[in-house]
Amino acid sequence: MTTAIGKSLSRIDGRLKVTGQATYAAEFNQEGQAHAVIVGSTVGLGRIESIDSAAVEKMPGVVAVISHLNAQRLAYNEHRGPIDPPAGERLHVLQGSEVRFFGEPVAIVVAETLDQAEHAANALKVTYSARPPQVDAHAGEQVVPAVARRPGARAEADVARGDADKALETAAVKVEAEYVIARENHNPMEPHATIAAWDGDRLTLWSKSQFVVNEQAEIAAVFGLPPENVQVICPFIGGAFGTSLRTWPHVTLAALAARHVNRPVKLVLTRKQMFFATGHRPYTLQRIALGAQPDGKLIGIVHEGAGETSRYEEFMEALTSVTSFMYSCPNVRTSYRLIPLDASTPTYMRGPGEASGIHALECAVDELAYKLQMDPIDLRRINEPQIDEGRQVPFSSRSMLKCYDLGAERFGWSRRTPEPGSMRDGRLLIGYGMANASYPCLFAPASARVRLLPDGTVEVEAAASDMGPGTYTSMSQVAAEYLGIPVERIRFSLGRSDFPATPPHGGSMTMASVGSAIRAACLDLQAKAAVLAAKGGGNAGLAGQSPEALEWRDGMLFVKGRSDRGVTYADLVSYGGESPLVGEGTAARDAETGQKYSMHSFGAVFAEVAIDPDVKTIKVRRALGAYGVGRVVNPKLATSQCIGGMIGGIGMAIMERTLLDRRNGCPINAHMADYLVPVNLDTPHIEAHFIDEEDTIVNPLGVKGLGEIALVGMSAAVSNAIHHATGRRVHELPIMIESLL
Ligand code: MOS
Grade residue 675 by pLDDT with cuts at 50, 70 and 90: very high
Q: Look up 584 and say whether it is catalytic.
A: no
Q: Which residue out of 234, 348, 466 has the highest number of ligand 1 atoms within 8 Å of its CB and is therefore the one to mutate?
A: 348
pLDDT value of residue 590: 86
**Which residue type does 195 have?**
I
Task: Judge if the beta carbon of residue 449 lies within 6 A of ligand 1.
Answer: no
% of the chain with per-residue pLDDT over 90: 87
Q: How far away, in angstroms, is 11 Cα from ligand 1 center?
A: 21
| Closest approach atom of ligand 1 to CA 507 | 3
Residues 6 or more apart whose CB falls under 8 angstroms from that of 539 comprise 565, 567, 571
- Ligand 1 atom 3 nearest Cα: 506
Task: Judge if the beta carbon of residue 245 lies within 6 A of ligand 1.
Answer: yes
pLDDT value of residue 193: 98
Task: Judge if the beta carbon of residue 352 lies within 6 A of ligand 1.
Answer: yes
Q: Which residue out of 209, 350, 356, 509 has the highest number of ligand 1 atoms within 8 Å of its CB and is therefore the one to mutate?
A: 350
Shared fold status for 30-131+189-239+244-275 and 444-588:
yes
Determine whether domain 444-588 maps to CATH 3.30.365.10. Answer: yes
Q: How far away, in angstroms, is 159 Cα from ligand 1 center?
A: 25
pLDDT value of residue 1: 46
Residues 6 or more apart whose CB falls under 8 angstroms from that of 137 comprise 283, 285, 306, 308, 339, 341
Query: Are the CB atoms for 417 and 449 separated by under 8 Å?
Result: no
Interhelix angle 249-261/212-223, nearest 10 degrees: 50
Q: How far away, in angstroms, is 243 Cα from ligand 1 center?
A: 8
Task: Judge if the beta carbon of residue 280 lies within 6 A of ligand 1.
Answer: no
Alpha carbon distance 551, 312 (integer Å): 57
Give the bridge partners for 687, in sequence order.
624
Grade residue 596 by pLDDT with cuts at 50, 70 and 90: very high
Mean pLDDT across the stretch 456-475?
A: 96
| Closest approach atom of ligand 1 to CA 242 | 4
Q: How far away, in angstroms, is 149 Cα from ligand 1 center?
A: 24
- pLDDT, one tens digit per residue, over 52-75 is 999 999 999 999 999 999 999 999
Find, among 343, 347, 396, the residue nearest to 660 by Cα: 343
Alpha carbon distance 230, 258 (integer Å): 14
Q: What is the 3-state secondary structure (H, E, C) of 648-670?
A: HHHHHHHCCCCCECCCCCCECCC
Task: Judge if the beta carbon of residue 266 lies within 6 A of ligand 1.
Answer: no
Find, among 673, 47, 694, 54, the residue nearest to 396 by Cα: 694
Q: 328 vs 161, 169, 356, 385, 392, CA distance in Å?
A: 12, 19, 21, 4, 11
Angle at 655 between CA 652 and CA 657, to 5 degrees: 75
Q: How far away, in angstroms, is 642 Cα from ligand 1 center?
A: 14
- Ligand 1 atom 4 nearest Cα: 242
Q: How far away, in angstroms, is 315 Cα from ligand 1 center?
A: 14
Whether 281 has a pLDDT exceeding 80, the answer reads: yes
| Closest approach atom of ligand 1 to CA 350 | 2
Architecture, CATH, for domain 30-131+189-239+244-275: 2-Layer Sandwich (3.30)
Whether 382 has a pLDDT exceeding 90, the answer reads: yes
Task: Judge if the beta carbon of residue 439 lies within 6 A of ligand 1.
Answer: no
Whether 560 has a pLDDT exceeding 80, the answer reads: yes
Query: Are the CB atoms for 284 and 316 separated by under 8 Å?
Result: no
Query: Are the CB atoms for 629 and 703 separated by under 8 Å?
Result: yes
Q: How far away, in angstroms, is 679 Cα from ligand 1 center?
A: 21
Q: How far away, in angstroms, is 466 Cα from ligand 1 center?
A: 12
Whether 152 has a pLDDT exceeding 60, the answer reads: no
Per the rule left: phi > 0, alpha: psi between -120 and 50, beta: everything else, 156 is beta
Domain spans, the chain: 30-131+189-239+244-275, 147-183+280-442+595-740, 444-588
ipTM of the shown complex: 0.98
Task: Judge if the beta carbon of residue 254 lies within 6 A of ligand 1.
Answer: no
- pLDDT, one tens digit per residue, over 204-260 is 999 999 999 999 999 999 999 999 999 999 999 999 999 999 999 999 999 999 999
Q: 708 vs 354, 364, 436, 457, 684, CA distance in Å?
A: 9, 22, 14, 33, 20
Whether 539 has a pLDDT exceeding 80, the answer reads: no
Residue 261 burial by CB count (10 A; 0-12/13-18/19+): exposed, middle or buried? middle
Whether 641 has a pLDDT exceeding 50, the answer reads: yes
- pLDDT, one tens digit per residue, over 285-334 is 999 999 999 999 999 999 999 999 999 999 999 999 999 999 999 999 99
Task: Judge if the beta carbon of residue 348 lies within 6 A of ligand 1.
Answer: yes
CA 312 to chain CA mean position, Å: 23
Q: How far away, in angstroms, is 511 Cα from ligand 1 center?
A: 13
pLDDT value of residue 3: 76
Alpha carbon distance 472, 234 (integer Å): 13
| Domain boundaries 147-183+280-442+595-740, CATH class | alpha beta
Residue 28 burial by CB count (10 A; 0-12/13-18/19+): exposed, middle or buried? buried
Q: Which residue out of 245, 281, 502, 509 has the highest number of ligand 1 atoms within 8 Å of its CB and is therefore the one to mutate?
A: 245
Task: Judge if the beta carbon of residue 242 lies within 6 A of ligand 1.
Answer: yes
Residues 6 or more apart whose CB falls under 8 angstroms from that of 58 comprise none
592-597's contacts with Cβ under 8 Å and 24+ in sequence apart are: 593/697, 595/393, 596/393, 596/394, 597/393, 597/394, 597/395, 597/396, 597/697
Whether 715 has a pLDDT exceeding 70, the answer reads: yes
Give the bridge partners for 450, in sequence order.
460, 583
Task: Judge if the beta carbon of residue 94 lies within 6 A of ligand 1.
Answer: no
Q: Which residue out of 241, 317, 465 has the highest number of ligand 1 atoms within 8 Å of its CB and is therefore the one to mutate?
A: 241
Mean pLDDT across the stretch 125-148?
A: 94
CA 391, 396, 401, 406 torsion-angle sign: negative
**Which residue type does 566 have?**
G
Residues 6 or more apart whose CB falls under 8 angstroms from that of 594 comprise none
Task: Judge if the beta carbon of residue 376 lies within 6 A of ligand 1.
Answer: no
Q: How far away, in angstroms, is 574 Cα from ligand 1 center?
A: 43
Residues 6 or more apart whose CB falls under 8 angstroms from that of 346 comprise 183, 279, 280, 281, 282, 307, 308, 309, 310, 315
Catalytic residue among 313, 317, 461, 708: 708
Task: Judge if the beta carbon of residue 241 lies within 6 A of ligand 1.
Answer: yes
Task: Judge if the beta carbon of residue 350 lies within 6 A of ligand 1.
Answer: yes
* Beta strand pairing call for 550-553 and 332-341: unpaired
Task: Judge if the beta carbon of residue 506 lies within 6 A of ligand 1.
Answer: yes
pTM of the model: 0.96
pLDDT value of residue 543: 82
| Closest approach atom of ligand 1 to CA 240 | 4
Order of strands, edge to edge, in the sheet holding 550-553? 550-553, 556-559, 567-568
* Number of alpha carbons in the 13 Å side-chain half-sphere of residue 595: 4
Angle at 201 between CA 195 and CA 207, to 5 degrees: 20
Task: Judge if the beta carbon of residue 349 lies within 6 A of ligand 1.
Answer: yes
Give kind and range of the element (H or E) at residue 216: helix 212-223
